[in-house]
Structure 1
Amino acid sequence: MTLRSLHAVMLLWAVCPGAQGQCEKPSETNKLNLSITYELPTFTADFPIQNMVTLDGIIYVGAVNRIYALAPNLTKLSEYHTGPLLANETCGQKSTGSGSVGSRVDNHNIALVVENIYDKGLYSCGSADNGVCRRHVLDEDESPKTVDEEVYCFANKGRYGRSQPSDSDVVVSPSGSQVLNVESNVITFFVGNSEIPGMGNILDSAPRPHTISLRKMKTSQNGFTFFSDRSYMDLIPPLRGNYYLRYVHAFHSGPFTYFLTVQQVSKDSQTYHTRIVRMCSSDLMIRRYVEMPLECISTDKRRRRSTDDVKVFNILQAANVAKVTDVELQKQLKVDEDDDVLFAAFAQGKPNSPEPTANSAVCVMSMKQINYLFKRYMQRCDTVDPYHFTGSDKKSCYNVVRAFKLLLCPTLHL
């Protein structure tokens, strides 16, 4: 990696050379001193770890059938058993769906979210429970905070005893989900549910989670509700079960909420790429939705650039948004110390497949530049309707005034 330069390329069906930034050879001054024995705190879970969040210095770890609470030195404080659960039950109530009586299934931790506005809550959403989440109340007077008491299932048990959980309470999908809470006057939960052809889904008789949605917790704090019937979007019926869409990461930066996805290039294509989705965090309805392809490209600086020297990494594996403290990197990216920067790990995909190969690279992109490209594409009319949600792929042209309004996010007042 020291012999190659990496640059990020934003695309809207075509390469945009204005998005390039380069990483220089790493410094040789920070080599690890191998003569010193480093003793680092460790924690070994009994089950595979799938999610991790922190609140007030406590680390909460979501794993298969368990949620662990850890001290800052990784000492286990408590553990809560989330499974195995009966396959035909949700929140302890029998489902009308199919499933072998008495059979139990592992509960994989699909999402783990914390909030700091109501009662300092921890939300866990598993592959069992038909997409319903659980709320763990963390007592402020208790130190250290644990997750083994006051657990509430987000489903109306009275209604569920007769049929199924309400549509808004079905949050996650066994195919994978990204859940992000954005706190202002109200906590808004942004949810992206993956659609993986051939993967098992929730019981056929149970409500199917919306592909992308935003919702809030009820004032009774025992479930969710949508702001309106425009607070969610779904893949069009012909594509459900036939279109690959995987939500890899979600984050909040400035006035926007972002999702990073891996999906098919188009409805008829068998090639795959990564996209970045942007929405206004203050919107109570999905009105300012825009997405743009994203790739990581490696070129060999020792040779004259040609197509043979270019490696495209198209399948996102992981991502994180942070501030840059390194002065040199700030200069290269043209960012200030308070600006958000996206660190993204990509892999080269197998031919006509979303599966990654062993070849990978990490690209660094400033959110300022990404937002500039969103604005540029919209103002240049390089936009089309998202076919997978609208059923239309016609070109949608926004003039400067309209595009400017779509790029702004209003302040939320409730």
Structure 2
Amino acid sequence: MELLLSLPQSFLLLLLLPANPAAGEDWQCPRTSYAASRDFDVKYVVPSFSAGGLVQAMVTYEGENESAVFVAIRNRLHVLGPDLKSLQSLVTGPAGDPGCQTCATCGPGPHGPPGDTDTKVLVLEPALPALVSCGSSLQGRCFLHELEPQGTALHLAAPACLFSAHHNRPDDCPDCVASPLGTRVTVVEQGQASYFYVASSLDASVAASFSPHSVSIRRLKADYSGFAPGFAALSVLPKYLASYSIEYVHSFQSGAFVYFLTVQPTSMTDAPGALHTRLARLSATETELGDYRELVLDCQFAPKRRRRGAPEDSRPYPVLRVAHSAPVGAQLATELSIAEGQEVLFGVFVAGKDGSPGVGPNSVVCAFPIDLLDTLIDKGVERCCESPVHPGLRRGLDFFQLPSFCPDPVSRKKGPLLVSCMRMAKYRLLPFHH
């Protein structure tokens, strides 16, 4: 109605008067300029919030009657309500500063060197429900913030320090979760317990400081005093920490599995080389790492228009920047040749670390149906572990375990063996320019 009232009167008359073309002439609607059909005086007010710094993490919560947005920046955690209005602000650093509200909850004990707190983990614990934040300071420990409803908004209760000083040592620290180099976490509920699937980037310095791990599955204690000891974990072997860097880009759960997406070198050589993207899969129902699997994601872009008979000129985009998983609708499902409602992993890939491919778009979006990824992983396991096995076939993942071959039943008796399933999942979608 507002658009109709804003139209020029002459245009309204043309709409209202009946058409009466001259005999023998084809009547056509008069051409109306774009500007004449729009009211540029309408002002749109978009809710906004200034965080006061670079946003490091963000989580949204939707309850039955209340909702909230949690925004983390350096040394501060903001709680936003409807229309992005600020409801609460919690000081999370610098560590050692008297004004640090989270630091004070840990009481006396080894806190590590003072410094700013960059938020490395911000996830929801659905059982309470609660928000869990983990920072780069205080040995990577985490804090639990229970959610308290206030009308249609939420408020964070006083934080609880998920750290027990007498249960943690430099060489064995179950409550040291976050790495200053980056950590991804997915929370999985199993019965009455909450398990944190954690993946952290390491180097020699970080590995020596508070004994974090590359991949681990940690159970949150029932009294919320920290994480239970004796959890399953994998870490890059010490001799590769300086040369083989794994960047964890994204983590998510789909069905019975938890997935991590990584960017890492293509080879184990000491010299820095090319990078590619891998998908790591763990069971969301078993808290052991014997079913750990990896798969290489191959994202390529080929121009749609090319000369008839000319070979396809595809360009690789091996480095993942951001990712998201979601079920697809009917139209996109048809384009991907899958069923409507199936979950698909979408990733934005670039040609290299600097994002400059030289020729072609700066980045492309590739889509990988989750069912396809699982099928390729299962085929890789069959090829390695079931008869007949190709002689000399390596299990891979030598940065996590000693070199071994398939099926290697002797080594299996000493502990779980990992399978890399070094197959490639290849899927192309459409270019994404920026």
State the TM bucket, normalised to the shorter chain: 0.7 to 0.9
2:70 maps to which of 60, 70, 77: 60
Q: Which has the larger radius of gyration?
A: 2
Deviation for aligned residue 1:347:
0.8
Contact in 1 for aligned 2:72/2:119 (Cα 8 Å)? yes
Deviation for aligned residue 1:396:
4.4
CA distance in 1 between partners of 2:142 and 2:311 (Å) = 48
Q: CA 1:158/1:357 → structure 2, altered by over 3 Å: closer, same or farther? A: same
1:313 partnered with 2:317 = yes
What whole-Å deviation, never above 9, does each CA across 1:254-289 have from its counterpart, x for those lacking one?
Answer: 101000000011211611100000111011211111
Equivalent residue for 2:198? 191
- Which amino acid letter does the alignment assign opposite residue 151 of structure 1? P
Q: CA 1:134/1:281 → structure 2, altered by over 3 Å: closer, same or farther? A: same
What whole-Å deviation, never above 9, does each CA across 1:126-177 have from its counterpart, x for those lacking one?
Answer: 1111111111122246763223x411111114567xx669611010100001
Deviation for aligned residue 1:368:
1.2
1:180 partnered with 2:186 = yes
Contact in 2 for aligned 1:196/1:245 (Cα 8 Å)? no
1:136 partnered with 2:137 = no
1:220 maps to which of 218, 223, 235: 223
Contact in 1 for aligned 2:134/2:178 (Cα 8 Å)? yes
Contact in 2 for aligned 1:156/1:165 (Cα 8 Å)? no
Partner of 1:291: helix, strand, or coil?
strand
Deviation for aligned residue 1:116:
1.9
CA distance in 2 between partners of 1:250 and 1:375 (Å) = 20
- Which amino acid letter does the alignment assign opposite residue 300 of structure 1? P
What whole-Å deviation, never above 9, does each CA across 1:33-86 have from its counterpart, x for those lacking one?
Answer: 996754322111112101111222211112111111111321111111111113
1:45 partnered with 2:51 = yes
CA distance in 2 between partners of 1:80 and 1:289 (Å) = 37
Equivalent residue for 2:23? none
1:296 maps to which of 299, 305, 311: 299
Q: CA 1:150/1:166 → structure 2, altered by over 3 Å: closer, same or farther? A: farther
Partner of 1:49: helix, strand, or coil?
coil
Contact in 2 for aligned 1:120/1:140 (Cα 8 Å)? no
- Which amino acid letter does the alignment assign opposite residue 155 of structure 2? T
Cα RMSD of the aligned pairs, angstroms, is 2.9
Deviation for aligned residue 1:378:
2.5
What whole-Å deviation, never above 9, does each CA across 1:85-116 have from its counterpart, x for those lacking one?
Answer: 139x894545386x5xxxx4221110101112
1:124 partnered with 2:129 = no
CA distance in 2 between partners of 1:260 and 1:121 (Å) = 25
Q: CA 1:355/1:195 → structure 2, altered by over 3 Å: closer, same or farther? A: farther
CA distance in 1 between partners of 2:354 and 2:206 (Å) = 20
What whole-Å deviation, never above 9, does each CA across 1:314-360 have from its counterpart, x for those lacking one?
Answer: 110000011112x22111223333311111011110xxxx4433721
Partner of 2:48: helix, strand, or coil?
coil
CA distance in 2 between partners of 1:34 and 1:320 (Å) = 37
CA distance in 1 between partners of 2:245 and 2:167 (Å) = 33
CA distance in 1 between partners of 2:165 and 2:203 (Å) = 30
CA distance in 1 between partners of 2:320 and 2:111 (Å) = 38
Q: Which sections of structure 1, spanning at least 5 residues, go unmatched? A: 1-32, 399-405, 407-414
Q: CA 1:42/1:165 → structure 2, altered by over 3 Å: closer, same or farther? A: farther
The size of the alignment, in residue pairs, is 346
CA distance in 2 between partners of 1:264 and 1:34 (Å) = 54
With CA pairs under 8 Å and 6+ residues apart, which has the higher RCO, 1 or 2?
Answer: 1
CA distance in 1 between partners of 2:341 and 2:408 (Å) = 33
What TM-score, normalized to structure 1?
0.76
Equivalent residue for 1:356? 355
Contact in 1 for aligned 2:82/2:153 (Cα 8 Å)? no
CA distance in 2 between partners of 1:312 and 1:65 (Å) = 39
Partner of 2:373: helix, strand, or coil?
helix
Contact in 2 for aligned 1:180/1:251 (Cα 8 Å)? yes
Q: CA 1:45/1:273 → structure 2, altered by over 3 Å: closer, same or farther? A: same
Partner of 1:331: helix, strand, or coil?
helix
Q: Larger % of strand: which?
A: 1
Equivalent residue for 1:145? 154
Partner of 1:213: helix, strand, or coil?
strand
Partner of 1:356: helix, strand, or coil?
coil
1:240 partnered with 2:241 = yes
Equivalent residue for 2:287? 284
